[in-house]
């Protein structure tokens, strides 16, 4: 069986566009947070995007802005800030105060064969900052640097 990855978005600007200025701003907030904080590993800049009282539903990361910053520092090195997301982004969807990202996630099975899964993150925006986050991480999952999951 051949592993076929989902199709990734070629045009990130098109994903960021919306006729609704609020939705466009929410998508840009999440996209830039991902580029600067999660991809570049710049934990000290997290407060530009994330609320102090941030609610985290990933069981391996702490609560609040400080919890995010601690998790970033423990799981990834600092890197240069790229103009776009380097992970294989499938879609960026905004509805109301919520933004969802989906990425291709290459993995290895027990035989060392590559297969593809999809990673989803959901963010809730409040007062221009990310106030809450959900993802499918399990408590039994080791903390990872998702930037190692490129195609």
State the pTM of this model. Answer: 0.88
The domain of 57 spans 12-138
Residues facing residue 92 across a β-bridge: 101
Answer whether residue 76 is part of any domain. Answer: yes
Task: Report the relative pairing of strands 129-134 and 50-56 from DSSP bridges.
Answer: parallel
- Which pLDDT does position 108 carry in this prediction? 85
Please tell me the total count of domains within the chain.
1
pLDDT in tens, 73-126: 999 999 999 999 998 999 999 999 999 999 998 888 899 888 888 889 999 999
Q: Is residue 138 pLDDT above 70, yes or no?
A: no
For the chain, what is the mean pLDDT? 90
Answer whether residue 151 is part of any domain. Answer: no
* Alpha-carbon dihedral angle through residues 119, 39, 36, 55, given to the nearest 10 degrees: 40
Answer whether residue 5 is part of any domain. Answer: no
CATH number at residue 32: 3.10.450.50
Answer whether residue 7 is part of any domain. Answer: no
């Amino acid at each position: 069986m051949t592993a076929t990855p989902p199709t990734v978005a070629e045009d990130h600007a098109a994903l960021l566009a919306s006729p609704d200025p609020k939705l466009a701003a929410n998508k840009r907030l999440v996209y830039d947070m991902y580029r600067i904080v999660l991809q570049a590993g710049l934990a000290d800049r997290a407060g530009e995007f994330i609320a102090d009282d941030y609610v985290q539903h990933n069981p391996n990361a702490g609560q609040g802005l400080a919890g995010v910053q601690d998790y970033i520092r423990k799981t990834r090195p600092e890197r240069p800030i790229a103009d776009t997301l380097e992970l294989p982004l499938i879609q960026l969807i905004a509805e109301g105060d919520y933004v969802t990202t989906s990425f291709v996630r290459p993995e290895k099975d027990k035989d060392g064969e590559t297969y593809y899964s999809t990673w989803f993150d959901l963010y809730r925006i409040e007062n221009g900052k990310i106030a809450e986050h959900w993802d499918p991480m399990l408590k039994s999952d080791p903390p990872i640097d998702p930037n190692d999951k490129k195609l």
